[in-house]
Amino acid sequence: MPQHFDAVVIGTGQGGSPLAVRLGKSGRKTAVIERGAFGGTCVNVGCTPTKSYVASARAAHVARHAAELGVQVSGTVSVDLAAVKARKDRIIGQSRDGVEKWLRGADNVTVFKGHARFTDAHTLSISGPDGAVTDEISADEIFINTGTRAVVPPLEGLERVRYYTNSNLLELTELPAHLVIVGGSYIALEFAQIFRRFGSQVTVLVRGERVLTREDADFAESVRKVLAREGVEFRFGVQPSRVEPHPHHENDVCIGFEQNVPALEASHLLFATGREPNTDDLGLAAAGIAVDRHGMIPVDGQLRTSVPGVWAIGDVNGRGAFTHTSYDDFQIVAANVIDGGSRSVDTRIMAYAVFVDPPLARVGMSEAEVRKDGRAALMATMPMSRVGRARERGETDGFMKVMVDAQSRQILGAAIHGIEGDEAIHTFIDTMTAGAAYPTLQFAMHVHPTVSELVPTLLDGLKKMV
């Protein structure tokens, strides 16, 4: 007989862990199952390690440019990747251990270590690393938070070469001589700038004609320009078709292309070519839970799957691919299932940042989306060179943009590529969440000298979009 629980959470990602604790606190006998590292992608191989590398990379960059601010740093600036990694390991170790301790100490929560698989809609088997089933549990309420993993394209010769994804690249202790990155997304660009600032030669291979295809072309170009100025090389309109070991240098890789493009040699090859959901090995068919053609689990506004009593939260539901969207999913489910509310993901205003330096942060609609929508709208842009804070810091790259509805005066979307854009964007996020029209923000008194201080001035420049 399976051991019965009121609720089970599969995966300890950014939504799953707090949800397990809340379910336990609500009096439900709760189980949480984790097959890998506690804390999931963000803590172990995503946000936390990459942002600790961004910090090290920025320290190197600032040291190299200190003379521009009248500060002399003697000698050459170099990066000890083993020390950078050790610092990162300490930071993520603290978070991972913190999540595990939190779960193990939570009221009414039992932690299972192993791989969960549905055997029917409300029963799960749990197996160890050797595949042998160690436990069987059933539950009235099941919450899937199994996340995603890196996609590696099926290139000819891949089985014969050494290659990397976001996970194992973060295990390196020696700097790559030449890091070749396949992909033009935010993960690709963050790694490109990090390793360039660490001192590696970096080449980014982009299938299309520009990076960051989800963003407006002017923002994508603004980010590309900064990285190119720092020495990141970009090749557009290229797609690797085959790889093979270098004939003379052990571990190096030769990359060939379909197009009439000369082959490229890399000491390290990183794939940042998208993410796929951890749903193929979850036994979803046995539970009758539908997936879409990408393997994502479709959910309604309340994050319910096609099977009553089963929810999907985090990246795996295809409604967001960020730590904050996974955490927001937890809050929506907790509000509805535990507190009897009726919150919906459908009204969520999407926001995120790309943590290149300076960051690109965005909320709501892009300019392209507003134009496609066809509504009467106003728009304003402002270069970061007008922002006192940016001039004082000597970092004036980038610009801000905002779009508002001409009639309702509601903010439709905004983006900032510039220093502290990842913080300043919250002035827009909060105004939009409050449902206030833009004059509320226009007449707010902001602190001097900050980036947010220029947001009211940006709004003063709104003009009809043509």
Show contacts with ligand FAD in window 305-364 (CB under 6 A): 314-316, 321-324, 326, 355
Q: Which residue minimizes CB distance to ligand FAD?
A: 147
Structural contact between residues 429 and 363, judged by C-beta atoms closer than 8 angstroms: yes
Of the candidates 61, 58, 57, the residue with the CA atom closest to the CA atom of residue 85: 57
Q: Catalytic pick from 4, 249, 294, 448?
A: 448
Asked about 178 being catalytic, the answer comes back as no
Q: What are 59's two structure tokens? A: 């320290």
Site membership for ligand FAD, residue 50 (CB under 6 A): yes
Q: What are 402's two structure tokens? A: 């905002």
Of the candidates 155, 94, 153, 112, the residue with the CA atom closest to the CA atom of residue 16: 112
**Smallest distance from ligand FAD to CB 376, Å:** 33
**Smallest distance from ligand FAD to CB 135, Å:** 12
**Smallest distance from ligand FAD to CB 63, Å:** 24
Out of 5, 7, 9, 11, the only residue in the binding site for ligand FAD (CB under 6 A) is 11
Out of 22, 84, 85, 147, the only residue in the binding site for ligand FAD (CB under 6 A) is 147
Site membership for ligand FAD, residue 15 (CB under 6 A): yes
Residue burial 250-262, b: 16+ Cβ < 10 Å; e: rest: eebbbbbbeeebe
User: Taking the chain, what is the end-to-end CA distance rounded to the nearest angstrom?
Assistant: 67
Dihedral of CA atoms 353, 354, 356, 358 in degrees, nearest 10, equals -40
Q: What are 383's two structure tokens? A: 């270069």
Q: Which is nearer to ligand FAD, 15 or 379 (CB)?
A: 15
**Smallest distance from ligand FAD to CB 179, Å:** 14
Q: Which is nearer to ligand FAD, 353 or 403 (CB)?
A: 353
Strand, helix or coil for residue 293? coil
Structural contact between residues 5 and 30, judged by C-beta atoms closer than 8 angstroms: yes
Site membership for ligand FAD, residue 187 (CB under 6 A): yes
Q: Which is nearer to ligand FAD, 126 or 403 (CB)?
A: 126
Q: Which is nearer to ligand FAD, 185 or 366 (CB)?
A: 185
Q: Which is nearer to ligand FAD, 278 or 431 (CB)?
A: 278
Strand, helix or coil for residue 206? strand
Of the candidates 283, 194, 274, 187, the residue with the CA atom closest to the CA atom of residue 232: 194
Q: Give the H or E element holding residue 295.
A: none
> Which residues carry out catalysis?
448
| Residues contributing to the site for ligand FAD (CB under 6 A) | 10-15, 33-36, 40-42, 46-47, 50-51, 115-116, 145-148, 166, 187, 278, 282, 314-316, 321-324, 326, 355
